[in-house]
Amino acid sequence: MNQLGIGIAITGSGSATPDVAVDNYQLSQVVETSDEWITTRTGIRQRRLMDAQGCLSAIASQAAQNAIAMAGIKPTDLDLIILATSTPDDLFGTASNIQHQIGAPQAVAFDMTAACSGFIFGMVTAAQFIRTGVYSNVLLIGADILSRWVDWSDRGSCVLFGDGAGAIVMQANECDRLLGFELRSDGTLNKSLQLPYNAQVKEIVNGVTVSQGTYQPITMNGKEIYRFAVQKVPEVIEKALFRANLTSGEVDWLLLHQANQRILDAVAQRLKIGADKVISNLANYGNTSAASIPLALDEAVRQGKIQAGDTIASAGFGAGLTWGATIFQWGR
């Protein structure tokens, strides 16, 4: 609890994914791969892909509405909406469009980008506004349509990603359920995972050039990201646990960014957290970037796995590179 006596509760979750599922067998018609390779190396069996007509604001709004309903509040109660995404419908931002679609005119809405760590960074950002007493009801959405930017000829990365959206409602509360966090970033390995802007020179008047390029498909050094995740994620969770005055033995659920089952297993092993406490749904969705944590959280809550008062150690990691962890208890 802070000096103002304002704590934070996570009171609702929601998610939404596109209808179209593409399994590993179908992907083996796109690149030289196999169901056996993808399942043994990643644990992924299928992913949801957004069709050409679909947009981020639609699935993000649906996830948001589900979270708001679970929290038992009205959209008009929201003070702040944060959309964590790397794939907005509009580079100027998509959050205000979602605000409009869900009918939350009083809220202020903005996008933030921290790739696959976006949801964790968003949680901590939202918490600052609540703890200072500025806002009481915050909607945090993690949503991405990475299929827009996947290189569908690169078998080393295209098999990993899927599309989706997840959301939570965070509210000012007497009891503080956000127990600890740690955020990190390091640009030295920036080139290991990128969705880079590629400049095209255009001369607009004599001697004056501007860049009129576009973004390029995702490039990734999988091995480097794998090593980084397995080393850095346990460290950051341990730091957040220390701040929460807890040990890994007191964690009920380990909720990691759903990138690869082998990463989930390795992190759990390093933290000595049993496999039965690891939340995993990547077999069905692949890596949905900023959406993966709230999507897995929402499924586990709706399945009755995660119960009120359970302690969750959550961590995201990805491009930037960025990584971070939060320790929180579900419910008021």
Query: Which position among 54, 93, 217, 222 is part of the footprint of ligand UT7 (CB under 6 A)?
Result: 222
- In whole angstroms, how close is the CB of 195 to ligand UT7 at the nearest point? 11
Segments in the chain forming alpha helices (H): 24-27, 35-42, 56-71, 95-102, 118-131, 155-158, 222-243, 261-271, 282-285, 292-302
Query: Which position among 13, 33, 99, 261 is part of the footprint of ligand UT7 (CB under 6 A)?
Result: 33
Q: Is it true that the peptide bond before 282 is cis, omega within 30 degrees of 0?
A: no
Q: What DSSP string runs through 198-231?
A: E--EEEEETTEEEE--EEPPPEE-HHHHHHHHHH
Candidate segments 37-45, 88-96, 164-172, 183-191, binder of ligand UT7 by CB under 6 A: 37-45
Site for ligand UT7 in 264-303 (CB under 6 A): 287
Mapped onto helix, strand or coil, the DSSP state of residue 64 is helix
Mapped onto helix, strand or coil, the DSSP state of residue 197 is strand
Neighbouring CB atoms inside 10 A of 175's CB total 11
CB 178 within 8 A of CB 168: no
Site for ligand UT7 in 43-102 (CB under 6 A): none
d(CA 24, CA 60): 26
Candidate segments 106-114, 153-161, 180-188, 206-214, binder of ligand UT7 by CB under 6 A: 153-161
- In whole angstroms, how close is the CB of 175 to ligand UT7 at the nearest point? 33
- Active site positions, annotated: 116, 257, 287
Q: Is 226 in the site for ligand UT7 (CB under 6 A)?
A: yes
- In whole angstroms, how close is the CB of 254 to ligand UT7 at the nearest point? 16
Candidate segments 52-60, 101-109, 151-159, 268-276, binder of ligand UT7 by CB under 6 A: 151-159
Q: Is 113 in the site for ligand UT7 (CB under 6 A)?
A: no
Strand partners, 322: 185, 318
- In whole angstroms, how close is the CB of 260 to ligand UT7 at the nearest point? 4
- In whole angstroms, how close is the CB of 74 to ligand UT7 at the nearest point? 34
Secondary structure element (H or E) that encloses residue 9, with its range: strand 7-16
Neighbouring CB atoms inside 10 A of 255's CB total 27
Q: Is 110 in the site for ligand UT7 (CB under 6 A)?
A: no
Binding residues for ligand UT7, how many (CB under 6 A)? Answer: 18
Question: Cβ-closest residue to ligand UT7?
Answer: 222
Dihedral sign from CA coordinates of 95, 99, 102, 107 = positive
Amino acid at 171: Q
Q: Is 120 in the site for ligand UT7 (CB under 6 A)?
A: no
Query: Which position among 100, 223, 272, 305 is part of the footprint of ligand UT7 (CB under 6 A)?
Result: 223
Q: Is 149 in the site for ligand UT7 (CB under 6 A)?
A: no
CB 115 within 8 A of CB 320: yes
Site for ligand UT7 in 164-193 (CB under 6 A): none
Residues of this chain that interact with ligand UT7 (CB under 6 A) are 33, 37-38, 41-42, 116, 155-156, 159, 220, 222-223, 225-226, 259-260, 287, 318
